[in-house]
Structure 1
Amino acid sequence: MIASAKPGHEIIGEGSPVHLGGAGHGGLHEQDTLVPIIITGTKTVPEHLRMVDLKSWILSLVY
């Protein structure tokens, strides 16, 4: 399952900082530069730690 915040919005919780205007955590849009990711059930990792590389890596896990 992949959850992403709408561009310009962010996923927040109690005690988490708010980054109004972008660069927030939880989005997969290019405005959001830091995205936490938890990987389990595989020993593979993306070739590069860039958002643009995640799609092909995630698809390689499914197919």
Structure 2
Amino acid sequence: MSKTRLMPSPVCLVENVNGSLNVNKDALEFLSGINEPVVVVSVVGLYRTGKSYLMNRLAGQQT
């Protein structure tokens, strides 16, 4: 049986740093250690249209 590492919270793989998109090295290292299928979720939209609510629901957190 394989050991599964659980994420304590969602991980941001790509970050906007001073107008430039950068890969979060800690997130990349964590994700590289996973030997099972990984799902990437991206949510975009206008201000105050429920993006955070949707991501929290997908992450299993109640708001």
Band of TM-score, shorter chain: under 0.3
| Alignment TM-score, normalising by the size of structure 2 | 0.22
| Alignment TM-score, normalising by the size of structure 1 | 0.22
Instruction: Name whichever structure is richer in helix by fraction.
Output: 2
Instruction: Name whichever structure is richer in strand by fraction.
Output: 2
